[in-house]
Amino acid sequence: MRQLLAILLSIFAALAATPASAQFKTPEATVEGLYALYRASDSTGFNDKHTARFLEPAVARQFRSAKHIDADFFVQGQDFEIKYLTIEKPNVAGDKATIVVTFKNFNKPNRLTYTLAKSPNGWQIADVSNGKTTFRAMLRASQ
């Protein structure tokens, strides 16, 4: 009985130490995981519950404190119907990476460049550019 209890306690301790959401091991996995949030039929897209998993901590804090976000930067609109999603091969330099993503949202073509950083939390989004502005600039403006 003591042996069974010891085994159960070690399993519980291992599970308690595991993050609720798996870390992303590659930059591509981060971006693929992000757009998977938009492709499910019952999806509401990206929201507060996703910040810790996908965004660097400083960016996650900015997102959570934003007061007036008019559109979802990741889909370049308030609503979404993502088609023709292409995630290009990343350019990785040490613990930084950039990835270009193209897609159509309600038939409007979009091209975003993601900047990601690798940390103990895996690969996370540091910023995104649409060629005119950035995700972080949008968050700063919405404070």
pLDDT in tens, 96-115: 999 999 999 999 999 999 99
Find out whether 110 and 117 touch, Cβ atoms under 8 Å: no
pLDDT score recorded for residue 43 = 85
* Token code pair at residue 136: 């972080």
State the pLDDT at residue 16: 34
pLDDT of residue 22: 67
Say what the pLDDT of residue 21 is. Answer: 58
Mapped onto helix, strand or coil, the DSSP state of residue 126 is: strand
Look up the pTM and report it: 0.84
How many Cβ atoms sit within 10 Å of the Cβ of residue 67? Answer: 6
Q: Which residues, 6 or more positions from 135, have their beta carbon under 8 angstroms from its beta carbon?
A: 59, 73, 74, 125, 127, 128, 129
Distance, CA of 50 to CA of 56 (rounded, Å): 11
Enumerate residues 6+ apart whose C-beta is below 8 A from 114. 27, 31, 98, 99, 100, 101, 125, 127, 128
Q: How far apart are CA 106 and CA 77, in angstroms?
A: 9
Digit-by-digit pLDDT tens for the chain (143 residues) are 444 333 333 333 333 333 445 699 999 999 999 999 998 878 889 998 999 999 999 999 999 999 888 899 999 999 999 999 999 999 999 999 999 999 999 999 999 999 999 999 899 999 999 999 999 999 999 98
